[in-house]
Structure 1
Amino acid sequence: MTQPSDDPAATGVPTCYRHPGRETWIRCQRCNRPICPDCMRDAAVGFQCPHCVHKANQGSRQNRAMYGGERSADPRLTSYVLIGINAVIWLVITATGGARSRLADVFALAPTGLCALDDGSGRYYPSVNDQATCAMLPTTTWHAGVADGAWWQLITSVFTHVEIWHIAMNMFALFLFGPALEGIIGRTRFLAVYLLAGLGGSVMVLYLSNENGSTVGASGALFGLLGALLVTANKARLNSQWLVQNLMLGVIVTVVGWQAISWQGHLGGFLGGAAAAGIIAYAPKGNRSLIQWGGLAALTIGLVWLALVRIVQLG
Structure 2
Amino acid sequence: MTSSDTMTPEQAAHIADILQGAVDPHVHSGPSIAPRAVDHLELARMLSEAGFAAVVTKDHDYAGVMCAAMIGHHYPELKTRVFSGIALNNVVGGLNAYAVEHTAAMDGKIVWLPTLSAENHLRWQAGSGWSHPASTQKIRPASAVPLFDAGGRMLPELLDVLDVCAATGLALASGHIHVSETKKVFAEAKRRGVERLIFTHPEDIVGATMEDTVEIADMGAQVEHSLAFFLEGSKFRTRTTEELQHFIDRVGTGRTILCSDLGQVGTLTPLEGFRQAVATCLALGYSDAQIRAMVSTNAAQVIGLDG
For this structure pair, what is the TM-score category when the shorter chain's length is used for normalisation? under 0.3
TM-score of the superposition, structure 2-length normalised?
0.27
Q: Rg: which structure is higher?
A: 1
Q: Which of 1 and 2 has higher RCO (CA within 8 Å, sep 6+)?
A: 2
Q: Please identify which structure carries the higher helix content.
A: 1
Q: Please identify which structure carries the higher strand content.
A: 2
